[in-house]
Structure 1
Amino acid sequence: MAPQATQTAAAAPAKPAPAFDVDVDRKGKAPPSTKFEDLADGSEKTMDDFKDKPLLVNLWATWCVPCVKELPTLAKLGADAPNGLQVVAVSEDMQGAKVVLPFLKDKKIAIHPYHDRDNALMLALKEASLPMSILFDADGKEVWRISGDLDWSGAKAKELLAMGGV
Structure 2
Amino acid sequence: MADRKKLMPTARLLLMALVAGAFAGAIAVYASITLSGNNGAPPVQTAKVDDSADNAACKMKAERAKAVSAAATGEVAAMLPADPPQSLKELAFNAPDGKPMTLADHAGKTLLVNLWATWCAPCRAEMPALNALQKEMGSDRFEVVAINVDTGDDEKPKKFLSEIGVDGLGFYRESTLDLFNGLKKRGLALGLPVTLLVDGDGCLLANMNGPAEWSSADAKRLIEAALPADG
- TM-score tier by shorter-chain length is 0.7 to 0.9
Question: In the alignment, is residue 74 of structure 1 matched against residue 74 of structure 2?
Answer: no
Question: In the alignment, is residue 85 of structure 1 matched against residue 145 of structure 2?
Answer: no
How far residue 164 of structure 1 moved from its aligned partner, in angstroms, is 1.5
Match of 1:61?
117
How far residue 23 of structure 1 moved from its aligned partner, in angstroms, is 2.4
**How high is the sequence identity, in percent, across the aligned residues?**
30
Distance (whole Å) between structure 1 residues aligned to residue 197 and residue 118 of structure 2: 22
Instruction: Map residues 15-164 of structure 1 onto 2, 5 A cutoff.
Output: 17-18=9-10, 21-31=78-88, 33-38=90-95, 40-80=96-136, 81=138, 84-110=141-167, 111-126=169-184, 127-164=189-226
SS class of match (2:118)? coil
- Check whether the contact 2:110–2:226 (CA below 8 A) recurs between aligned residues: yes
SS class of match (2:125)? helix
Distance (whole Å) between structure 2 residues aligned to residue 159 and residue 96 of structure 1: 36
How far residue 21 of structure 1 moved from its aligned partner, in angstroms, is 2.6
- Check whether the contact 1:61–1:92 (CA below 8 A) recurs between aligned residues: yes
Distance (whole Å) between structure 1 residues aligned to residue 165 and residue 156 of structure 2: 14
Compared CA separation, residues 94 and 148, structure 1 to 2 (3 A): same
Compared CA separation, residues 161 and 96, structure 1 to 2 (3 A): farther
- In the TM superposition, what whole-angstrom CA distance separates every residue of 1:47-85 from its partner, at most 9, and x where no partner exists? 111111101100001111111111111012112216721
How far residue 133 of structure 1 moved from its aligned partner, in angstroms, is 0.8
Distance (whole Å) between structure 2 residues aligned to residue 82 and residue 152 of structure 1: 16
- In the TM superposition, what whole-angstrom CA distance separates every residue of 1:83-115 from its partner, at most 9, and x where no partner exists? 721111001111241211111112211121111
Distance (whole Å) between structure 1 residues aligned to residue 89 and residue 220 of structure 2: 26
What is the alpha-carbon root mean square deviation over aligned residues?
2.3
Compare 82-91 and 61-70 and name the one that shifted more: 82-91
TM-score, scaled relative to structure 2: 0.59
- Check whether the contact 2:82–2:204 (CA below 8 A) recurs between aligned residues: no
- In the TM superposition, what whole-angstrom CA distance separates every residue of 1:108-157 from its partner, at most 9, and x where no partner exists? 11121111121111122221311111001122211101112111121221
- Check whether the contact 1:93–1:100 (CA below 8 A) recurs between aligned residues: yes
Distance (whole Å) between structure 2 residues aligned to residue 120 and residue 94 of structure 1: 11
Distance (whole Å) between structure 2 residues aligned to residue 148 and residue 155 of structure 1: 18
Q: Which residue type is aligned with residue 118 of structure 2?
A: T
TM-score, scaled relative to structure 1: 0.80
Compare 151-160 and 127-136 and name the one that shifted more: 151-160
Compared CA separation, residues 97 and 88, structure 1 to 2 (3 A): same
More strand, by proportion: 1
SS class of match (1:138)? coil
Q: List structure 1 runs of 4+ shifted beyond 4 angstroms.
A: none
Gaps spanning 5+ residues in structure 1: where? 1-13
Q: How many residues align?
A: 152
Compare 135-144 and 16-25 and name the one that shifted more: 16-25
Gaps spanning 5+ residues in structure 2: where? 15-76
